[in-house]
Amino acid sequence: MAEDYEPTIIAFVCNWCTYTAADLAGTSRLTYPPNVRLIRMMCTGMVDPKYVIKALLEGADAVLISGCHPGDCHYINGNFKARRRVKLLKEILPRFGIDESRLRLTWIGASEGVDFARTIKEMVSEMKALGPSGLKEQMVL
C-alpha cells in the first residue's frame, strides 16, 4: 500500500453537539488529521442513508455520523433514528463489497473536543490500515 495514502472521511455532524465539539477542538488548538470534511446537519436524524452511500460511491473512504448523546438530541429522537439507520446500513454495505467499518456512528457532545479529535485520528488510522475503498474507480456510470 502506498505510504502516502491519505483517506478522505466525510463526517455528517449535528449542529448542536459534534459540530460544536469540532469547533472547540479547533479553538483549543487540538491537532487531528486534515482528512475529514465536515457536513453540518441540524440533527443526525436528518442523515438520509442515501447520503452515506453517495459519499462512499463518490470517493469517500469512510463516513462518520456523529451527534448528541442519547437523551440530548434537540429533536428528541433524531439520534435514535440515526442509530437504526446505521445498523441497517452496516448490514447492507458488505453486500456491495464495502467493509462495514467504513461507516461509524458516535455521540460527541459540544464540550468533547478531545473526543472529536481522537475519533478522527482513530478513523484515519483505521482507514490507512484498511486501504482505499476503490469504489469510485469501480463505478462505471
* Choices 3-11, 31-39, 41-49, 93-101; region in contact with ligand FES by CB under 6 A: 41-49
Q: Quick check: 105 binds ligand FES (CB under 6 A)?
A: no
Q: Quick check: 43 binds ligand FES (CB under 6 A)?
A: yes
* Choices 28-36, 72-80, 84-92, 96-104; region in contact with ligand FES by CB under 6 A: 72-80
Q: Which secondary-structure segment (H or E) carries 36?
A: strand 36-41
For the chain, the first-to-last Cα distance in angstroms comes to: 27
Give the one residue of 44, 106, 119, 133 binding ligand FES; rule: CB under 6 A: 44
Measured from the CB atom, the residue of 73 and 124 that comes closer to ligand FES is 73
Which of 48, 55, 67 has its CA nearest to residue 107? 67
Q: Quick check: 45 binds ligand FES (CB under 6 A)?
A: yes
Which residues make Cβ contacts (< 8 Å) with residue 129, sequence separation at least 6?
A: none
Which of 66, 81, 62 has its CA nearest to residue 115? 66
**Residue ranges binding ligand FES (CB under 6 A):** 14, 16-17, 43-45, 67-68, 73-75, 78-79
